[in-house]
Structure 1
Amino acid sequence: MKTLLLCLLFAFINITASADWIRINQMGYTPAGSKVAVWCSKEQDTLKYFELIDARTHKVVYHHTAGTAFGAYGPFRQTYRLDFSAFRQPGQYYLQTKVINAMGTTTTAGLKSSAIAMGITVSPVFTISDTVYKGAADFCLRYMRQQRSGFNPFLKDSCHTHDGFPVYGPDSVFVPVSGGWHDASDYLQYVTTSANATWHLLAAYRDFPGVFTDSLQANGLSGNNGMADVLDEAKWGLDWLMKMYPADDRMYNQIGDDRDHQGMRIPKQDTNFYNHGLERPVYFCTGTPQGLLKYKNRSTGIASTAGKFSSSFALGYHLLSPLQPAYADSLLHKARAAWQLGIAKPGVCQTAPGRSPYFYEEDNYTDDMELAAAALTNTADALSFARQEPVTPWLGKDTAKHYQWYPFINVGHFELARQLKGHNRDTIIQYYRSGIEKVWNKASHNSFYRGIPYIWCSNNLTVAFAIQCYWYRQLSGDQTYIQLEQACFDWIFGCNPWGTGMVYGLPANGDTPSDPHSSLSHLKHYPLDGGLVDGPVYTNIFRNLIGIKLEDADEYADFQSDLAVYHDDFGDYSTNEPTMDGTAVMIYLLAAKEAEGKTITQGAITRADSTKKEIALVFTADEFGDGLTTISNTLQQQKVKASFFFTGRFYNTKAYQLPVKALYKAGHYLGPHSDKHLLYCDWQNRDSLLVTQQEFETDMSRNLSKMKKSGIDTTAVKYYIPPYEWWNNAIATWSYKIGLQLVNFTPGTGSNSDYTYPGMNNYKSSKEIYNGIMQFDKNRKGNLNGVILLIHAGTDPRRTDKFYNKLNQLISELKKEGYQFKKINELVGN
């Protein structure tokens, strides 16, 4: 009877056209990451479950309840979050939902529904893979190069070579400031945005050096120059900033004004809009209101600009010192001078308007000065500025003026927290958490976890806020807001009401902007690869903007609402104009996503994916190798593979040559540890190098040569642990140039203390070391996940309590906890 009823029931089912959609991240998802899509409906249907389907076999591989309904949002009457984070198998998939609604009267069989409408909704196909974001940061660099002023490698031509004539300042002669980047689809240039862009490009290289490639010359043309392309692009920004700050008491903020907005043209076709030949005005930083035409800004000082100059120069100094020392010294001088100028003239230096009322209305400067102080390692001053603006004011608010709180998050908090310990560090981290909570209090009530106001350049705010969430997670280890962080990222790549990505051409097969507000694409049909567009705005903002007229029919008309609009239309400069600074910040976020789960310290990987129960055992040795036999036997007994990093002296020592060959034959990873166990940098002043680049490269070459003589294939060697486990960013840069990636132990476990012996102030017994490992981060989520655990392969004879004798017990206990042991190349490899 039950079978008959079911047959009768489904005989009356009609498959109807659905008014439902599933919004996904078109870039895809990582296996270990947060994976959420949003189901949206123009009806008020109830969704019970969803299915994840293999796109190749069309078989259901995951089935789960839809969870709680979030209700209406924007154009939709009902929404749900479809969370499939628990599914981790790489592949190609799509999501499917079915909504069954009873319609009609009773059947002859006594059923209450004479007709049933089934709405089946299917998402686009997407990828789950560790490599879904690979190359994306480099892709977005294309837009930065396309925005270059001066010589433009995309156009293979030059523009704006006559800049410019000074206004407001004491100078009266030509100021040579050609270079830099155009701000957006117009050709104005601002230190405000350019310095922020430069800092993020520098930081992306510093924090994720393994992500970027070297396929172009410094001028952006094909070839390579031994420097990652992202660093080339950052230096292009630094070169221009140097021109805009020609002397300690001469600081400029802007080239051109809105007289530029007189018709669309490609850059080299610029005409005389300023009654000064082909020269454009260069605005001197006066610290007072400026505006040569109808409108003026509200400037009160120059610290906001001076701070941005200083932080970019200081970071550039640290990264370029090993490559271009004389240039780096100039950067350091200017960083210090700009800092002093900011102290002398506190206040904001806003961009200057002209005939229209629009300008960057930056109302804060303490965040810029905090970042500058942190970059110069003036921690006391940085702390003082940090306390003046603990939370960026727009966080949790419904609106703000255009660029009112720029650069949208307090970058200085991250730089400062990296340098601090104890209570002060915890306080700075709490500042980030407080801001995130303000956004979460709004975001948690809608299915897109949207807590960002729909103001002009909302995408820029979204990307910046995602980075604040990321930095908070890296600094604290707290995973609480990981879905909020990911929701911001997903939003940019299609998990939004319009179902479109916001980065031109990314992904290649996705729905992304095709008709942006840009002369290059509109007049010449040039692709704007990698450009992040402004993003949706409140509908009432759109209706009140000057000079907006849509050129074509609105393909997203069904998804516009009284809340917000987005148009992929050349005529909409408010939602569909790419911006240089937003793209640069996006590059940092994409680099972080590509390196997801890896903790980077001074350019070295110090922890892998904290969501996976995986550990790397690494062993180092220079002088002592008394534990090799015990360690080798234990690993063989436990069927565990590990990684060994030995100096050239160790590889060359006759007593260790057979054990080394046995380790290699057994399948363990063997790498270098420097030839002569050099101390690379000062213990007290980490930035102070004790070796030259030539000494470093020669020493490493000798180490690798001795490995090769031991029968080790050095072409497969990619990772190494620095001698004394002490290095800096310069060493990381030199390592990158010779094809090596620095790795080091995860701080806090205490395993590396096994070299100590009685009589040393920091002596720890093996029992203390063992207990420290087992208690590591016990109050945090993640525990030993992704940890690189360093043990010495031998120790001074004065230490008779050898920790390697506890290795068997340690491995057995960690196995019981569910941990798997990986070689270093398996744990941290891309």
Structure 2
Amino acid sequence: MKSNYWILTVIFALVALPGKAGEWIRINQLGYLPQSVKVAVFMSEEGTNVGNYSLIDAFTGKVVRTFNTAKATGKMGGMKSTYRLDFSNFTEPGTYYLKAGKTVSPRFPINAHIYNGTADFLLNYMRQQRCGYNPFLKDSCHIHDGYIVYHPTKTGQHIDVRGGWHDATDYLQYTTTSANAIYQMMFAYQENPESFGDAYDAAGLPGANGIPDIVDEIKWGLDWLNRMNPAPGELYNQIADDRDHAGMRLPNKDLVDYGYGPGKGRPVYFCSGEPQVRGKFRNATTGVASTAGKFASCFALGAKILKGYYPEFAAEIEAKADAAYQEGVKKPGACQTASVLSPYIYEEDNWVDDMELGAMELYKATGDNKYLAQALEYGRREPVTPWMGADSARHYQWYPFMNMGHYHLAKVNNSRISKEFIRNMRTGIERTYEKAVENPFLHGIPYIWCSNNLTTAMLTQCRLYRETTGDDTYAEMEASLRDWLFGCNPWGTSMIVELPLYGDYPSQPHSSLLNAGVGNTTGGLVDGPVYRTIFENLRGVNMTGIPGTPGQDYERFQPDLMVYHDALHDYSTNEPTMDGTACLTYYLSAMQKDGMKQAGIPNDKNVYVDGGIIRTDPSKKQITLVFTAADKADGADAIIGTLKKHGIKGGFFFTGEFYELYPDVVKRLLDEGHFVGSHSYGHLLYMPWEDRDSLLVTREEFENDIMKSYETLRKAGIEYKDAPVYIPPYEYYNREISAWAKNMGIQVINYTPGTMSNADYTTPDMGQKYRSSKFIYDKIMEVEKKKGLNGHLMLIHFGTDDRRTDKFYNDYLDKMIKTLKRKGYTFVPVRKAVGI
């Protein structure tokens, strides 16, 4: 047994390292849905011929499929050989790695659940970016905003524009990016509501409030946008300016003086429709329409999204939508942002796309054909978003980076119009594809500032085009754009902070939070690679990392054309942006919906804590009984008999020692049709009891233990694919443990706290910590009466210490089941309950 185990350990170790110096296989570190395009990229510093490549089961070390379809894609930077390795036609769920020659990829899962929770994960960053009350810091900032500038009669007056989000690591706020972020989150929720959960309240603090978290974030943004439009014709475009760039400090410590006193308020820029200048820099504003159209589309769609939650507020912004739109009609042109100390602004110079979208949302809200006619007119003035297929652009020159109005026109019930705008969408994709085919990663995005935002925009356009037409011509490019964001890129890193937590991701993003040592920008999408010429000519950008930790320059992997760095002071490639992050919520929520469809489940209503499921659907009057054991089985007869009497299938989670001590018990449980899974091999304590955020085991120790555990299960006739859920030893874990397990294709679950059913292990010598079976039973009934037990994972120990003679499983288990059945509860098997 030990011999086989150590062979697997060696194989597993190889997965983390290239087989020889100078060769790598890049993958989507998150993993792959079974029914999806799956392509990895091999790259080598030497001239290498890849004839075939293999997919290997990470748990058994066996080759499950060999392919001979490697596609040579030439040289890239220092890589003399690159190949695309397509394994799309392999659909069996499991955990695998690729091998080409002696080179192996990192391990990755293939299953229907890999995108679950990823769209909600992005909202961590949105909450961090909140201005006004900031739930991450549990403090408020910029509470004196602000003082009007550029208004013909109100300049110098105070206006309440608290709220919204900081744009990035600086504390500027722009209608341009904020409105787009709001719209994209609304679109994501409108299209994929089943992909979003409720774990936070309206203030962004932990605790469900009956409203999906993304709707809470939408409302936070719309509240601010509403303040930025206090009266008809009075639209504001920007709070603060680049005088903000006065060094890294936390937002609640922002004492920049804009002339109103240190930290006592910031300028609020009125949309005058004319160039605005402060200091020596002048923007190129030509009108108001680019901002007005964004207000209109957000208010029109926002009224629909929020009507069921905030009807009065929804009515208020609905009434503002057309008035904002009419300002754009009266003052056509682009409204740019303003700077004082430097030339860097958002140089948006297109605006018909914003008016097109505003008109379409008004048309959808009112049914008035005049808006449809106007949307059509605006849409025809810019058939293709100009950056698509271009080599370069000025900063945010053509924004938003995807024209959502085109998508809505492509969906209208008019064949001629629909075909015209489908063609427009396809043309933008085709122009990008023509550039992409020259790239081993099939990535045809210009590497201007915020290239990842462009990647996300094209990703969205590809999917919407594919869904609208059924044409999968660009499905491989769509997958490549997605995989690029999760590590299938030259650097082998995810572009979203801590997603996945078990992978390589930006550990030193340009962030005041990180600089101050108070946390990372969890969930934030970083800017992404830029042309080398851009990086080398920016002011103040450098490779300095966190004090005591050098930045990662990825020198070995930098292509000739562009660069990416993971360094605190590289604001050009490694700064998270609020709008880019928000724009990704649609695609990730759509992928989660795809996964749920492939798994045959309507939604994921599980309740998660630190990545582990601690409760199943709270709306269902169902309970799941789970049992754990390390080395005791004295409850076997009573538990098996009671469950059989009531026709209940339980979930049993045992350590390696248990499997070795009680093989007959395991066989009995399997014969009875119960789920039997892992409780680890060695019953390790992963973290100190006094500090859940630290670790007592390394990732290697954890993985070795899990591998040994599943080898033991396999000897008992249980394949790891049959036991994809896992209860950690001592029912004690943190988010790192959950992430490491997820990378192995395993989902951590745990008992639902509150009932104290898990206290059935206590013994009389524990004094006040001892809990009698009657106490436990009464506590369960008390919780049921006060809060209900819907979705509870109720844990009972399969065996307890001899010093405890009052065994819960002898009498009270039967009594509890009878009582709860009378109260209308059903007992659901663990995999059915969690949907895995």
Q: With the length of structure 2 as denominator, give the TM-score of the two structures.
A: 0.67
Q: In structure 2, give the amino acid aligned to 1:367.
A: D
- The answer (yes or no) to whether the contact 2:490–2:559 under 8 Å persists in 1 is no
**Equivalents in 2 of 1:152, 1:416: separation in Å?**
38
Out of 552, 558, 561, the position equivalent to 1:560 is 558
Closer/same/farther in 2, CA of residues 56 and 284 from structure 1, 3 Å limit? same
Aligned to 2:120: 138
User: Given the alignment of the two structures, is residue 202 of structure 1 paired with residue 193 of structure 2, yes or no?
Assistant: no
Does the 8 A contact of 1:504 with 1:530 survive in 2?
yes
Alpha-carbon offset, residue 46 of structure 1: 1.3
Q: Which position in structure 2 is the counterpart of 1:420?
A: 413
2:205 counterpart residue number? 221
Residue in structure 1 matched with residue 288 of structure 2 by the alignment: 302
How far apart are 1:298 and its partner, in Å? 0.4
d(CA) in 2 for partners of 1:553, 1:176: 40
1:162 counterpart (144, 147, 151):
144
8 Å Cα contact 1:18-1:121 kept in structure 2 = no
For residue 292 of structure 1, report the CA deviation from its aligned partner.
Answer: 1.2
What displacement does 1:68 show? 2.8
CA drift at 1:444:
1.3
Residue in structure 1 matching 2:87, options 84, 87, 106: 84
2:512 aligned residue (509, 519, 535): 519
What is the alpha-carbon distance in structure 1 between the residues aligned to residue 184 and residue 596 of structure 2? 18
- Partner SS, residue 464 of structure 1: helix
Deviation for aligned residue 1:592? 1.2
Matches within 5 A, 1:177-196: 177-196=161-180
Letter in 2 for 1:37: A
Distance 1:97 1:265, change over 3 A: same
Does 1:150 find its partner at 2:132?
yes
1:212 aligns with 2:172: no
Structure-1 residue corresponding to 2:572: 574
Aligned-pair distance for 1:137? 0.6
Q: Displacement of 1:273 after TM fit?
A: 2.4
Q: CA deviation digits over 1:767-806, x for unaligned, max 9? A: xxxxxxxxxxxxxxxxxxxxxxxxxxxxxxxxxxxxxxxx
Whether 2:41 is the aligned partner of 1:38: answer: yes
Report the CA distance shift for 1:470/1:220 in structure 2 as closer, same or farther (over 3 A).
Answer: same
Tell me the amino acid that sits aligned with residue 457 of structure 1.
Answer: C
**Are the counterparts in 2 of residues 147 and 580 from structure 1 also a CA contact under 8 Å?**
yes
- Give the secondary-structure state (helix, strand or coil) at the position aligned to 2:64: strand
Mapping for residues 199-348 of structure 1, pairs under 5 Å: 199-277=183-261, 278-348=264-334
- The match for 1:434 is 427
Q: Which residue of 1 aligns with 2:340?
A: 354
Shift of 1:216: 1.3
Change (3 A) 1:43 1:294: same
Contact 1:531 1:583 in 2 (8 A): yes
Q: Percent identity?
A: 53
The answer on whether the counterparts of 1:66 and 1:80 sit within 8 Å (CA) in structure 2 is no
Distance in 2 separating the partners of 1:333 and 1:423: 32
Query: What is the aligned partner in structure 2 of residue 807 from structure 1?
Result: none
Task: Give unmatched runs, 5+ long, in structure 2.
Answer: 1-17, 364-370, 545-549, 604-789, 791-830
Matched, 1:71 2:74: yes
- 1:336 is displaced (CA, Å) by 0.8
What letter corresponds to residue 496 of structure 2 in structure 1? V
Structure 1 partner of 2:644: none
Q: Once the 2 structures are TM-superposed, how far is the Cα of residue 128 of structure 1 from its aligned partner?
A: 0.4
- In structure 2, relative to structure 1, the CA distance for the partners of 1:469 and 1:519 (3 Å cut) is same
Please give the secondary structure, in 1, of the residue aligned with 2:594.
Answer: coil
CA contact (8 A) 2:195 2:592 kept: yes
Matched, 1:21 2:24: yes
Shift of 1:515: 0.6
Say if 1:220 and 1:597 are closer, same or farther in 2 by CA, change over 3 A. Answer: closer
Distance verdict in 2 for CA 1:26–1:65, change over 3 Å: same
Deviations 1:571-622 (A, max 9, x none): 10000000000000011211111112789xxxx99xxxxxxxxxxxxxxxxx
Q: Could you list the per-position Cα deviations for residues 491-546 of structure 1 after superposition, in whole angstroms to 9, with x for gaps in the alignment?
A: 00000000000000000100000111110011124021100000000111111111
Q: CA deviation at 1:566?
A: 0.6
In structure 1, the gaps of 5 or more residues are: 1-14, 99-119, 606-738, 740-824
Q: Does the 8 Å CA contact 1:144/1:233 hold for their aligned counterparts?
A: yes
Displacement of 1:78? 1.3
Aligned residue type for 1:428:
F
Query: Which one of the candidate residues 386, 393, 401 is aligned to 2:394?
Result: 401
Match of 2:811 in 1: none
Contact map agreement 2:379 2:406 (CA 8 A) in 1: yes
Report the equivalent of 2:63.
Answer: 60
The TM-score normalised by the length of structure 1 is 0.67
Deviation at residue 16 of structure 1 after TM alignment: 7.9
Structure 1 equivalent of residue 521 of structure 2: 528
Q: Match of 1:409, SS?
A: coil
Task: State the shift of 1:249 in Å.
Answer: 1.5
CA distance in 1, matches of 2:110, 2:76: 27
Shift of 1:67: 2.9
Aligned partner letter, 1:563: L
What does 1:106-145 correspond to in 2, within 5 Å?
120-145=102-127
Preserved CA contact (<8 Å) 2:222 2:302 = yes
Report deviation, 1:421: 2.7
Q: Which residue of 1 aligns with 2:530?
A: 537
Matched, 1:508 2:501: yes
Q: Give the secondary structure class of the aligned counterpart of 1:376.
A: helix
Residue identity in the other structure for 1:365: W
Q: Is the 8 A contact 1:248 1:334 kept in 2?
A: yes
Kindly indicate whether the alpha-carbon contact (under 8 Å) linking 1:374 and 1:412 is maintained by their aligned counterparts in 2.
yes
CA 1:16/1:455 → structure 2, altered by over 3 Å: closer, same or farther? closer
CA distance in 1, matches of 2:231, 2:126: 27
CA-atom RMSD in angstroms: 2.1
Amino acid at match of 1:231: V
Query: 1-side partners of 2:466 and 2:224: how far apart?
Result: 34
What residue number does 2:474 align with?
Answer: 481
Rounded Cα–Cα distance in structure 2 between residues aligned with 1:262 and 1:272: 7
Question: Hey, what's the Cα distance between the residues in 2 that align with 1:585 and 1:553?
Answer: 27
Per-residue displacement from partner, 1:389-429 (whole Å, max 9, x unpaired)? 11000101111111011011111111222333311111111
**Is residue 460 of structure 1 aligned with residue 453 of structure 2?**
yes
In structure 2, what is the Cα distance between the partners aligned to 1:16 and 1:24? Answer: 16
| Corresponding residue pairs, total | 574
**For residue 325 of structure 1, what is the amino acid of its counterpart?**
P
Q: 1:12 maps to which residue?
A: none
Cα offsets for 1:129-157 (capped at 9, x unmatched): 11110000111100000000000111111
1:367–1:420: structure 2 CA closer, same or farther, 3 Å change rule?
A: farther
Give runs of aligned pairs for residues 687-766 of structure 1, distance below 5 A.
Answer: none
d(CA) in 2 for partners of 1:425, 1:549: 48
Can you list the C-alpha shifts for 1:614-656, whole angstroms capped at 9, x where unaligned? xxxxxxxxxxxxxxxxxxxxxxxxxxxxxxxxxxxxxxxxxxx
